[in-house]
Amino acid sequence: MFETDTITAISTPIGEGAISIVRLSGPDAIEITSKIYKGKDLHEVDSHTIHYGKIIDPETNDVAEEVMVTIMRGPKTFTREDVVEINCHGGLVSVKRVLEIVLSQGARLAEPGEFTKRAFLNGRIDLSQAEAVMDLIRAKTDKAMNIALKQMDGRLSSLIKRYRQSLLETVAHVEVNIDYPEYDDVEEMSHEMMKEKTKEVHAEIEELLRVAKQGKILREGIATAIIGRPNVGKSSLLNALVQENKAIVTDIPGTTRDIIEEYVNVRGIPLRLIDTAGIRETEDIVERIGVERSRQALKEADLILFVLNYNEELSEEDLRLFEVIKGLEYIVIINKTDLTQKLDIEKVKELVEDKRIVSTSLLKEEGIDELESAIADSFFAGEIDSGDLTYVSNARHIQLLRQAMQALEDAMASLEMGMPLDIVQIDVTRTWEFLGEIIGDTASDSLIDQLFSQFCLGK
């Protein structure tokens, strides 16, 4: 055990749900709770049992709150320490009061992420699992949640461990050859064998990084811009998407930049609707700021929904917008198909090249399904199923995987140049270290502190 004091925090999102939990972890968790709890003798109860009782304010002897108390003795707990969870069913005021009472009895307010940090330090979870807990707290969609859960399961960890083992064996093999050249029965590690090993691990990391891109989209949402001339139906489209798909994000304290209304969930894919420097409500802004600047403004979008009016001829402004989005990822929506046709569809088809065109009547709620399919198709082949894929969705992991891959490429280049193996293995060892940082094996203390300080309070 690394820590000796007892920490506490409210471990449910403030103001959400009917139940709020004050969690304690540490050697005095049960003792502290006993002092303020009226009910069974908590020292006597079995581990992992839950008990009804009352929290008493020791200063006034008043009943502060009716509670259910869960007693969990270490090491079979999340932190491997004794853990108590006080379930309060009252609102924010009462849960805060319970927390204050717990603090007055000698528990210390947990730092952000400190529960998870203890779990890590006490060997309950590895670093990538700890980070998954953090991602879980921030997960915006069910899919993202699944990825985080899988990572917590240790899937990524076990892959990383396998790569490291393979590299370690290679390095060890070279060492034996160098230290004991007289051992004839140890097969000499040849350049060919080394090449094979590095290539193998390189390919695996490459694949992880490839799916990481999808993971990022799932986590952060597809930055989507709706553009088009005034009055074509942009706001109607936004409303249709929001109505059909409930907003995803729950407001979690500690996450800052997310605004609930900005996200809609289309077939499990989060769209983050962005307003790109006024391009959304054009008023022919393109003419004002120019094609190139409009293009720059739209570049932050992963997907552009470009709305045209079926009931009007193509205008100069439409043509300028086509010019602006050329080469970017977009879908053309021909709206107001309930009205008479004035739009030259053949001309539109020429302009869009290989991109999708969807017809809608937002007024009559027609074509929205097709639009959603088109959106899903443009990023994944149909409805996505994160099923068997192990996504790497954490920025730090991606960075380390890239560094590991670079080090491997250095090793491979040295091999090509016919460098001695004991030189090549320096890069192989670096790869092994980068991979180790992902699961916290070679991570320095300061790195660990920095990571855990990002956690929400109470987790």
Residues making contact with ligand GDP (CB under 6 A): 228, 230-236, 335-336, 338-339, 361-363
Q: Is residue 251 part of an annotated ligand binding site?
A: yes
In the complex, least distance from residue 372 CB atom to ligand GDP, rounded to whole angstroms: 16
Q: From Zn ion, ligand GDP, none, which one binds at residue 335 (CB under 5 to 8 Å depending on kind)?
A: ligand GDP
Apex 138 CA angle, 135 and 143, nearest 5: 75
Closest CA to 219 of 251, 245, 248: 248
Q: Is residue 252 part of an annotated ligand binding site?
A: yes
Query: 208 vs 321, which CB is nearer to ligand GDP?
Result: 321
In the complex, least distance from residue 366 CB atom to ligand GDP, rounded to whole angstroms: 8
In the complex, least distance from residue 363 CB atom to Zn ion, rounded to whole angstroms: 14
In the complex, least distance from residue 281 CB atom to ligand GDP, rounded to whole angstroms: 7
Query: 128 vs 361, which CB is nearer to ligand GDP?
Result: 361
Torsion of the alpha carbons at 129, 135, 136 and 138, rounded to the nearest 10: 160
In the complex, least distance from residue 234 CB atom to Zn ion, rounded to whole angstroms: 5
Closest CA to 156 of 329, 324, 339, 392: 392
In the complex, least distance from residue 276 CB atom to ligand GDP, rounded to whole angstroms: 15
Closest CA to 289 of 302, 278, 300: 278
- 41-49, 137-145, 228-236, 251-259 -> range binding Zn ion (CB under 5 A): 228-236
- 14-22, 227-235, 334-342, 352-360 -> range binding Zn ion (CB under 5 A): 227-235
- 32-40, 59-67, 230-238, 339-347 -> range binding Zn ion (CB under 5 A): 230-238
Closest CA to 62 of 32, 30, 101, 93: 101
Q: Is residue 255 part of an annotated ligand binding site?
A: yes
Query: 72 vs 238, which CB is nearer to ligand GDP?
Result: 238
Q: Is residue 96 part of an annotated ligand binding site?
A: no
Q: From ligand GDP, Zn ion, none, which one binds at residue 270 (CB under 5 to 8 Å depending on kind)?
A: none
Q: Is residue 364 part of an annotated ligand binding site?
A: no
Alpha carbon distance 303, 62 (integer Å): 58
Q: From Zn ion, ligand GDP, none, which one binds at residue 141 (CB under 5 to 8 Å depending on kind)?
A: none
Q: From Zn ion, ligand GDP, none, which one binds at residue 74 (CB under 5 to 8 Å depending on kind)?
A: none
Q: Is residue 169 part of an annotated ligand binding site?
A: no
In the complex, least distance from residue 237 CB atom to ligand GDP, rounded to whole angstroms: 7
Q: Which residues of 102-119 are buried (b: 16+ CB within 10 A; e: fewer)?
A: beebebeebebbbbbbbb
Whole-angstrom CA distances from 252 to 47, 95, 215, 289 are 31, 17, 21, 38
Token pair 């140049």 in the structure block, residue: 417
Q: Is residue 38 part of an annotated ligand binding site?
A: no
Q: Is residue 15 part of an annotated ligand binding site?
A: no
Query: 316 vs 385, which CB is nearer to ligand GDP?
Result: 316
Alpha carbon distance 197, 318 (integer Å): 55
Which residues does residue 91 pair with via DSSP β-bridges, in sequence order?
A: none
Under rule CB under 5 A, residue 236 binds Zn ion: no
Alpha carbon distance 88, 78 (integer Å): 20
Q: From Zn ion, ligand GDP, none, which one binds at residue 363 (CB under 5 to 8 Å depending on kind)?
A: ligand GDP
Query: 338 vs 422, which CB is nearer to ligand GDP?
Result: 338
In the complex, least distance from residue 231 CB atom to ligand GDP, rounded to whole angstroms: 4
Alpha carbon distance 424, 435 (integer Å): 17
Q: Is residue 23 part of an annotated ligand binding site?
A: yes
Q: From ligand GDP, Zn ion, none, which one binds at residue 339 (CB under 5 to 8 Å depending on kind)?
A: ligand GDP
Under rule CB under 5 A, residue 235 binds Zn ion: yes
Query: 79 vs 361, which CB is nearer to ligand GDP?
Result: 361
Q: Is residue 174 part of an annotated ligand binding site?
A: no
Alpha carbon distance 401, 437 (integer Å): 10
Query: 234 vs 320, which CB is nearer to Zn ion?
Result: 234
Q: From ligand GDP, Zn ion, none, which one binds at residue 232 (CB under 5 to 8 Å depending on kind)?
A: ligand GDP
Q: Which residues carry a binding-site annotation for Mg(2+)? A: 235, 256
Q: What is the contact surface with Zn ion in residues (CB under 5 A)?
A: 234-235
Residue positions in the annotated binding site for (6S)-5-formyl-5,6,7,8-tetrahydrofolate?
Answer: 23, 85, 124, 459
Q: Which residues are annotated as a binding site?
A: 23, 85, 124, 231-236, 250-256, 275-278, 459
